[in-house]
């Protein structure tokens, strides 16, 4: 499956979760529901994946955690916030760089229009 086909499948799952649960719940609720939905579609999902940080050849003891990695290809970072901050996109871009991935989706479930709540980020 290409990255575009995969992001299309992920977006469909996001729409289903949003249409079923609606806006304004905790991020962890959306994460669990989205994992279920993606797995029902036959996709491999890694949840709360530790992202090692390599600093000048030294792996730092402090690691980051990304929300979802789909098919070892697409990173999905979930939010449930009133206002999206530019730092959220920067965070996702950093995850993409650290893991040498090309495409990520930043999703905010606290919105009136989920289409506007999904931002595609490319590395």
Domains of the chain: total: 1
Which pLDDT band, with edges at 50, 70 and 90, does 63 fall under? confident
Pairwise CA distance, residues 62 & 51, whole Å: 9
pLDDT digits (tens, 9 = 90+) for 74-115: 999 999 999 999 999 999 999 999 999 999 999 999 999 999
Q: Could you list the residue range(s) of the whole structural domain that residue 15 is in?
A: 3-122
pLDDT at position 65 is 93
- Whether 32 has a pLDDT exceeding 90, the answer reads yes
Structure tokens at 9: 């499948």
Closest CA to 110 of 78, 86, 87: 78
Looking up residue 110, the CATH number of its domain turns out to be: 3.90.320.10
d(CA 95, CA 66): 7
């Amino acid at each position: 499956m290409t990255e575009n086909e995969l992001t299309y499948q992920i977006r469909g799952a996001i729409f289903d979760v949003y249409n079923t649960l609606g806006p304004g719940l905790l991020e962890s609720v959306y994460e669990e529901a989205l994992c279920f939905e993606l797995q029902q579609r036959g996709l491999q999902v890694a949840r709360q994946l530790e992202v090692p940080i390599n600093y000048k050849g030294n792996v730092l003891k402090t690691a980051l955690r990304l929300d979802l990695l789909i098919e070892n290809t697409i990173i999905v970072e979930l939010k449930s916030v009133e206002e999206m901050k530019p730092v959220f996109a920067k965070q996702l871009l950093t995850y993409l760089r650290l893991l040498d991935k090309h495409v990520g989706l930043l999703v905010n479930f606290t919105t009136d229009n989920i289409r506007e709540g999904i931002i595609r980020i490319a590395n």
